[in-house]
Amino acid sequence: MKLHDMRKEFGSQLDEELELPESPFETFQLWFQEARKLYRDDANCFVLSTATAQGTPSSRVVLLKDFNEKGLSFFTNYTSVKAKNIQENPQVSCLFYWSTLEKQIRIKAKAKILSKKDSETYFHERPRNSQIAAWASKQSRQIESKRELVKQFLDYKEEFKEKEKIPYPEFWGGYLLVPEEFEFWQGGLYRLHDRIVYTKKEGSKSWQQSRLSP
């Protein structure tokens, strides 16, 4: 199946040059706020890529739940494929892409488990049924049917119906992705895109900015 005729033009001005703040965290916040206005509840979707100790990659879409100068946070089941990959190899890659804005952010990071306190706090901020679903889903394990999963959910719902507060499951929690490199991509006319990379200066907390050819 040839797709040669599928083509999108980016940008509008040939000589327009992207200029960004000194801090990648400030740039991320500015771009994310812009995306949130347009995409609303989908702005925080990003592709998280992990790999086994042998280097076999795996990617999936997850939801960003916090961001500051310490890093990016997301939550998952600690028995999932992504969690097992991170245990073997904490180096991960993140990809945000907002097509209408013609913007992309790539982040190389190292994953660390969030504290139980932070994970438990967020768990109890989730809707009650989402908390119950976390108990029902043994993420990435094979099941016979959707009916089996629904039954598990209903069983836990019955089990917890008298509890005002759903118990926190020890197998569920968050990760902090500590950035080691950022790349900000802005679509440009005739595929002459802007690519700005931030890398940590050796022995310093400050970041160095450089431009890449598209």
Give the catalytic positions in this structure.
191
Dihedral sign of CA atoms 168, 169, 170, 174 in order: negative
Contact between residue 12 and residue 191 where contact means Cβ atoms under 8 Å apart: no
**Residue with tokens 């889903």, as numbered in its chain:** 137
Which two three-digit tokens encode residue 12? Answer: 């509008």
User: Angle at Cα 65 formed by Cα 202 and Cα 211, nearest 5°?
Assistant: 35
Helix (H, G, I), strand (E, B) or coil at 98: strand
